[in-house]
Structure 1
Amino acid sequence: MTRTFGGIELGGTKTVVVLGQPGAIREREEFPTTTPDETLSRAVKTLLHWREHGLLDAAGIASFGPVRVAPEAADFGTMLDTPKPGWAGAPVLSFVAEALSLPLAIDTDVNAAALAEYGAGAAQGCPVVVYLTIGTGVGGGVLLNGAPLHGMLHPEIGHVRLRRMAGDAFPGICRFHGDCVEGLLSGPALVARFGRHPGEVEAGDRVWDAVAHDLAEVLAMLVLTLSPQRIVVGGGVTNRQPHLLPATRSRLPHILGGYLRDCTHAALERLVVPPALGDDAGPMGSLILAEQALAAKGAN
Structure 2
Amino acid sequence: MSLLGAIEAGGTKFVVAVAPIEDPEKVVARESFPTEDGAATVKKVQEFFDQYEDIAAIGIASFGPIDVKPDSATYGYVLDTPKRGWSGYDFLGAMKAWRDIPYYWTTDVNAAGWAEYVSGAASDVENVVYLTVGTGVGAGIIANGQFVGGYSHPEAGHIVMAKHEKDTYEGLCPFHHDRCLEGLAAGPAMEERWGVSAKELPDDHLAWEIEAYYLAQAALTYTATLRPERIVFGGGVPHREVLLPMVRKSFAEQLHDYLAVPDLDDYIVSVGNGDNAGIYGCFYLAKELVSD
Classify the TM-score, shorter chain: over 0.9
**Paired position in structure 2 for 1:278:** 274
**Paired position in structure 2 for 1:40:** 42
Distance 1:86 1:175 in 2: 18
Q: Give a deviation string over 1:11-70, Cα, whole Å, max 9, x none.
A: 12111101114333221101111211121111111112122xx3x111110111111111
Q: Would you say 1:294 and 2:290 are equivalent positions? A: yes
CA offset at residue 145 of structure 1?
2.2
**Paired position in structure 1 for 2:259:** 260
Q: Give a deviation string over 1:77-113, Cα, whole Å, max 9, x none.
A: 1111224333211111111111121111110111111
Q: Would you say 1:25 and 2:27 are equivalent positions? A: yes
CA offset at residue 150 of structure 1?
1.9
Read off the aligned partner of 1:79 and give its amino acid letter: V
Q: Would you say 1:210 and 2:210 are equivalent positions? A: yes
- What SS class does the counterpart of residue 257 from structure 2 fall into? coil
- What SS class does the counterpart of residue 218 from structure 1 fall into? helix
Q: C-alpha root-mean-square deviation of aligned residues, in Å?
A: 1.4
Give the percent of matched residue pairs that are identical in Structure 1 and Structure 2. 40
Q: Superposed, which structure 2 residues align to 1:60-75 within 5 Å?
A: 60-75=59-74
**Paired position in structure 1 for 2:246:** 247
Q: Superposed, which structure 2 residues align to 1:115-134 within 5 Å?
A: 115-134=114-133
CA offset at residue 76 of structure 1?
0.4
CA offset at residue 221 of structure 1?
0.6
Q: Superposed, which structure 2 residues align to 1:123-272 within 5 Å?
A: 123-179=122-178, 180-239=180-239, 241-262=240-261, 267-272=263-268
- Greater relative contact order (Cα 8 A, min sep 6): structure 1 or 2? 1
Distance 1:261 1:231 in 2: 15
TM-score computed with the length of structure 2 as normaliser: 0.94
Q: Contact (CA 8 Å) 2:190, 2:207: kept in 1 or not?
A: no
Q: Contact (CA 8 Å) 2:220, 2:254: kept in 1 or not?
A: yes
Q: Contact (CA 8 Å) 1:115, 1:146: kept in 2 or not?
A: no
Read off the aligned partner of 1:19 and give its amino acid letter: V
Read off the aligned partner of 1:160 and give its amino acid letter: I
CA offset at residue 294 of structure 1?
2.6
- What SS class does the counterpart of residue 254 from structure 1 fall into? helix
TM-score computed with the length of structure 1 as normaliser: 0.92
Q: Structure 1: where are the runs of 5+ without partners? A: none
Q: Structure 2: where are the runs of 5+ without partners? A: none
CA offset at residue 292 of structure 1?
2.2
Q: What is the number of residues matched between the two proteins? A: 288
Distance 1:126 1:114 in 2: 12
Q: Contact (CA 8 Å) 1:233, 1:274: kept in 2 or not?
A: yes
